[in-house]
Amino acid sequence: MHLPRGFAVSQLSVLGLATLLASGVSAQTLTRDNGSPVGDNQNSQTAGARGPVLLQDTQLIEKLQRFDRERIPERVVHARGTGAFGEFVASENLSGLTRASLFAAAGKKTPVFVRFSTVVHPSGSPETLRDPHGFATKFYTDQGNWDLVGNNLPIFFIRDAIKFPDMVHAFKPSPVGNVQDPNRYFDFFSHVPEGTHMLTRVYSDQGIPASYRMMDGNGVHAYKMVNSHDEVRYVKFHWKSRQGEKNLTRAEAAKVQAEDFNNLTNDLYAAIRRGDFPKWDLYLQIMKPEDLDKFPFDPLDATKVWPGIAETKVGTMTLNKVPDNFFETTEMVAMAPSHLVPGIEPSEDRMLQGRLFSYADTQLHRLGANHQLMPINQPLVKVDNYNSNGAGNPGKRTGDVNYQPSRQAGSAVDDSQHKYVATPLAGNTQQAAIAKTDNFTQAGSFYRSLSKQHRENLIGNLAADLGQVKNAEIRQIMLSHFYKADTEYGTRLTAAVKGDLTDVQQRAKALVD
């Protein structure tokens, strides 16, 4: 290898180059971001032996600039995540139910990327902490990308997105002490009885999954499926783990955390790398629009499950590849419930309606206007629209027409067959709660479904946090909510935190649902 005359190379660089040549390994030239080769990556340019460093050292400046900008804004929720690639295989032809092409034929394969996560805790936090766990799937379909963005639990804490920022603020660390505090979030939920069901589930052992492989997933919300005749059915999505479900008790989680606080990621990646590819079957619950009013609760309420509605298997997902780069995939993947395909539409679920805006908007904030052009987010189909310019635009647009409609040859046109289905409306605009709140029934049903040991665990888990609440009024109100759900549940929890049972019973009796 010949070096240009007068080319200065440090002793370290020479030794490194000699080592590479002696080993027979072909050396790759280090370059700057503009592709130009780097002459010395070990020593900054200085004004003489003892002079200051020169601003003209473009390699030094670029390295420091890029290092300072390595972090993008952390997700406000779902910051701690793990991702994997795989494929979804439809198990039957669902064209009678939906125009979504990924369900058009039995055996049809669709590539996917799945991001598992915790909700409240920050990036780098232990994976053994109690939390709902995100289960978000990006389907790279031949109609564009569809994101099914849900959790391991089938419901949520609140039913209206207007409460979401406040709920997250209550769960997050105090703005004064920067420590998560049960006094804060139980204060919030003492005003939000609809959270009783989700609190009961998240404080059960389901709040600490032992493995992402052994964790179910849920779309949480109702969606609409629409066929080619514009016939509508409401559906809920449920991923069932073929590995079974496994969770940790508080004591088991503490032991695991001491040994490996990346346990969920390590378990998933180890299984994939050894060829033990995890699988989930996707099931649908299906409801006719005319049946929505036949329940004592509102089926479009995200705090409710649909008991008694049969599930139909529609496909199987297999995860079979660990990402080559965490940042370029798991960190930069942009999941949003608004990423829908023809035949799958949002329902009138108030929580979902808010998420349609907020998830896409947070990705615009984190990753920029052109984040869907990043490889992990880019659809497999051609994208043809006139969204223009902005930071990170790859500059691949051609032609003079960047507006629509146009009579110019080759210009893009909209297609009326993909219009949203018409939904009848009646009444006035309003700001009011839903008619059928039914805040406590399903929380009680879930409690009674648990085994004796799992009930014991739930009481212990919940008492450990509720017992820290200093305000007696907040504590008693929360206890009345759990008592209203189930008298045994409330009685045992009241005893565990040394509450006033008579007062709890009176408060529960006064609750109107």
Label each residue of 356-367 as H, E or C. Answer: HHHHHHHHHHHH
The predicted pLDDT at position 26 comes to: 67
Same domain? 85 vs 53: no
User: Is residue 214 a contact partner of residue 204, using CB atoms and an 8 Å limit?
Assistant: no
The predicted pLDDT at position 397 comes to: 80
User: Domain holding 31: CATH number?
Assistant: 4.10.91.20
Structural domain boundaries, residue 500: 441-510
Strand partners, 137: 114, 148
Same domain? 147 vs 200: yes
Q: Is residue 303 part of a domain?
A: yes
Q: Is residue 181 part of a domain?
A: yes
Picking from 342, 373, 404, the residue at the C-terminal end of a domain is 373
Calculate helix-pair angle for 164-171, 350-367, nearest 10 degrees.
70
Same domain? 215 vs 358: yes
Distance linking the first and last C-alpha atoms of the chain: 82
Q: Is residue 449 part of a domain?
A: yes
Among residues 381, 402, 378, the alpha carbon closest in space to that of 392 is found at: 378
pLDDT in tens, the chain (513 residues): 343 333 343 344 444 445 444 555 567 898 998 889 999 999 999 999 998 999 999 999 999 888 999 999 999 999 999 999 999 999 999 999 999 999 999 999 999 999 999 999 999 999 999 999 999 999 999 999 999 999 999 999 999 999 999 999 999 999 999 999 999 999 999 999 999 999 999 999 999 999 999 999 999 999 999 999 999 999 999 999 999 999 999 999 999 999 999 999 999 999 999 999 999 999 999 999 999 999 999 999 999 999 999 999 999 999 999 999 999 999 999 999 999 999 999 999 999 999 999 999 999 999 999 999 999 999 999 988 888 898 888 877 888 898 889 999 988 898 888 889 999 888 888 899 999 999 999 999 999 999 999 999 999 999 999 999 999 999 999 999 999 999 999 999 999 999 999 999 999 999 988
Q: Is residue 434 part of a domain?
A: no
The predicted pLDDT at position 512 comes to: 85
Same domain? 117 vs 248: yes
Q: Is residue 164 part of a domain?
A: yes
User: Is residue 116 a contact partner of residue 353, using CB atoms and an 8 Å limit?
Assistant: no
The predicted pLDDT at position 394 comes to: 82
Distances (CA, A) of 2 to 35, 40, 139: 20, 16, 51
Model-level pTM greater than 0.85? yes
The predicted pLDDT at position 249 comes to: 98
Same domain? 481 vs 350: no
151 is known as an active-site residue: yes
* Segments in 368-486 forming alpha helices (H): 441-449, 452-466, 472-485
The predicted pLDDT at position 148 comes to: 98
Same domain? 228 vs 331: yes
At a CB cut-off of 8 Å and minimum separation 6, what does 76 contact?
168, 362
Q: How many domains does the chain have?
A: 3
Kindly state the tokens that stand for 368: 């920029």
Q: Is residue 157 part of a domain?
A: yes
Among residues 144, 177, 162, 171, the alpha carbon closest in space to that of 78 is found at: 171
The predicted pLDDT at position 23 comes to: 55
The predicted pLDDT at position 180 comes to: 96
Same domain? 255 vs 137: yes
Same domain? 328 vs 475: no
Same domain? 214 vs 286: yes
Q: Is residue 309 part of a domain?
A: yes
Among residues 101, 112, 198, the alpha carbon closest in space to that of 147 is found at: 112
Kindly state the tokens that stand for 261: 């606080």
Same domain? 356 vs 454: no
User: Domain holding 357: CATH number?
Assistant: 2.40.180.10
Sign of CA dihedral 147, 153, 156, 157: negative
Same domain? 227 vs 308: yes
Picking from 373, 396, 413, the residue at the C-terminal end of a domain is 373
93 is known as an active-site residue: no
Picking from 325, 355, 373, the residue at the C-terminal end of a domain is 373
Residues 360/363/364/365 CA torsion (nearest 10 deg): 130
Catalytic pick among 145, 151, 152, 263: 151
Same domain? 113 vs 29: no
Q: Is residue 383 part of a domain?
A: no
